[in-house]
Chain A
Amino acid sequence: MSEAKSPYGYRYIGSHRRTKEDPRFVTGRGRYAADIALPGLKHVALVASPHASARILSIRTDAARAAPGVYYVLTGDEFCAATDSLPIGVDAPKVTRWALAREQVRYAGEWVAAVVADSRALAEDAAELIEVEYEPLPHVTDPEQAMADDSPLVHPAHGSNIILHRHFVWGPVEDELARAEHQLTFRATWNRNATVPIETFAVAAQWNPATEILDVWASIQMPKYPDQTAKALRLPGNAVRVHFDVDVGGSYGVKRGLKHTVLVGYLAKRLGMPVRLIEDRLENMRGGDMHGPDRTFDMTAAFDSDGTIRALKIRAVDNVGAYAGRAPFQLGKPVSAICGPYRIGAITYEPVSVLTNKTPQEAVRGFGQSPTNFALERTMDHVAQFLNMDRIALRQKNLIRKDEFPYTIPSGSTYDSGDYHAVLDKALAAIDYPALVRRRDAARKAGLLAGIGISTCLEPSGGNSAFEPLLNPKNETTTWMDSCLVRVDLSGAITGIMSTSSSGQGHETLVSTVVGEILERDPAQIRVIHADSLNALPSNSPVGSRMAIMLGGAAAGAARRIKDTLIAIAAHNLECAKEDLDYRDGNVSLKGVPEKALSWDQLVEIAHRKFHQMPPDIEPGLQAKFVWEVPTGGGLPTPDGRVQIYPCYAFEAHIVYVEIDPETATPSIKQYVCGHDCGVMINPDIVHGMTYGGIAHGIGAALYEHFTYDDDGQLTSGTFMDYLLPSALEVPSILIVDHCTPSPLTTFGQKGSGEAGYLGAPAAVANAVNDALAPLGVEINTLPMSHLAIWETLSKAIRDAKSYAPKS
Chain B
Amino acid sequence: MSETLYSIAVEVNGTKRVGQVSARTSLVDWLREHLNLTGTHIGCEHGICGACSIMLDGEPVRSCLMYAVQADGHSITTVEGLARPDGQLSILQDSFCETHGLQCGYCTPGMLIAAQALLDANPRPTEEQIRDAIGGNLCRCTGYQQIVDAIALAAERMAGGAA
User: Which residues from chain A sit less than 8 Å from chain B, CB to CB?
Assistant: 1-2, 18-19, 21-30, 32, 34-35, 37, 68, 121, 195-200, 247-252, 278, 280-281, 503-506, 685-686, 688-697, 719-721, 725, 727-729, 731, 733-734, 757
Contact = CB atoms under 8 A, between A and B. Distances in A.
A250 B106 contact: yes
Interface of A, helix, strand, loop or mixed by DSSP: loop
Contacts, number: 190
B38 A728 contact: no
Contact of A280 (B45, B89, B97): B45
B40 A28 contact: yes
B109 A22 contact: no
A721 B144 contact: no
Contact of A693 (B103, B105, B148): B103
B105 A688 contact: no
Interface in B61-111: 78-80, 82-83, 89, 93-94, 96-100, 102-109
B96 A688 contact: no
B38 A692 contact: no
B155 to A, nearest CB: 16
Contact of B39 (A29, A688, A720): A29
A68 B45 contact: no
B71 to A, nearest CB: 18
A18 B95 CA distance: 11
A656 B80 CA distance: 40
B104 A27 contact: no
A26 B93 contact: yes
15 contacts: A22-B100, A26-B97, A28-B38, A28-B40, A198-B140, A249-B41, A281-B46, A503-B104, A504-B105, A685-B99, A696-B144, A720-B44, A720-B48, A728-B137, A728-B148
B135 A25 contact: no
Contacts of A35: 32, 38
Given A693-B143, A721-B48, A729 B131 contact: yes
Nearest to B1: A68
B112 interface: yes
B36 interface: yes
In the complex, which range does the number of interface residues on chain B fall in? 35 or more
Contact of B140 (A121, A197, A721): A197
B42 interface: yes
Contacts of B112: 26
Given A693-B143, A728-B147, A733-B145, A26 B96 contact: yes
Interface string B26-38: 0000001000111
B37 A689 contact: no
A198 B49 contact: yes
Contact of B97 (A23, A34, A197, A719): A23
A719 B44 contact: yes
A250 B130 CA distance: 23
Interface string B132-163: 10111111111111111000000000000000
A278 B28 CA distance: 15
B17 interface: no
B123 interface: no
Contacts of B46: 281, 719-721
A693 B80 contact: no
B138 A198 contact: yes
Contact of B143 (A22, A24, A252, A692): A692
Contact of A197 (B106, B136, B137): B106
A687 to B, nearest CB: 10
Given A26-B96, A197-B140, A281-B46, A733 B39 contact: no
A728 B144 contact: yes
Contact of A27 (B2, B83, B131, B139): B83
Given A27-B39, A28-B40, A35-B38, A696 B104 contact: no
A693 B140 contact: yes
A719 B45 CA distance: 10
B109 A28 contact: yes
Contact of A22 (B25, B97, B144): B97
A142 B38 CA distance: 43
Contact of A733 (B22, B108, B140, B148): B148
Nearest to A730: B135
A727 B145 contact: no
B57 interface: no
Nearest 10 CB-CB pairs, A to B? A28-B39, A25-B105, A504-B104, A249-B106, A504-B103, A692-B143, A696-B143, A28-B79, A720-B48, A685-B100
Nearest to B49: A198
Nearest to B24: A121
A731 B143 contact: yes
Contact of B135 (A250, A689, A727): A727
Contacts of B48: 719-721
Contact of B107 (A198, A733, A757): A198
A728 B135 contact: yes
B43 interface: yes
Contact of B105 (A249, A251, A278, A689): A249
A30 B42 contact: no
A719 B43 CA distance: 11
Interface string B1-30: 110000000000000000000101100000
B51 interface: yes
Contacts of B120: none
Contacts of B102: 22, 25-26, 504
Nearest to B2: A68
Contacts of A731: 143-145
Contact of A24 (B1, B40, B105, B134): B105
B105 A727 contact: no
A28 B78 contact: yes
Contact of A198 (B36, B93, B135, B139): B139
A558 to B, nearest CB: 25
B113 to A, nearest CB: 10
A37 B144 contact: no
B138 A247 contact: no
A725 B32 CA distance: 26
Given A26-B108, A250-B106, A728-B144, 18 more contacts: A18-B98, A22-B96, A25-B104, A26-B102, A26-B105, A27-B80, A28-B78, A198-B44, A198-B106, A198-B107, A247-B104, A250-B140, A504-B103, A504-B104, A689-B143, A695-B143, A729-B131, A734-B143
A624 B138 CA distance: 42
Contact of B104 (A68, A121, A197): A197
Nearest to A196: B140
A504 B96 contact: no
Contacts of B49: 198, 720, 725
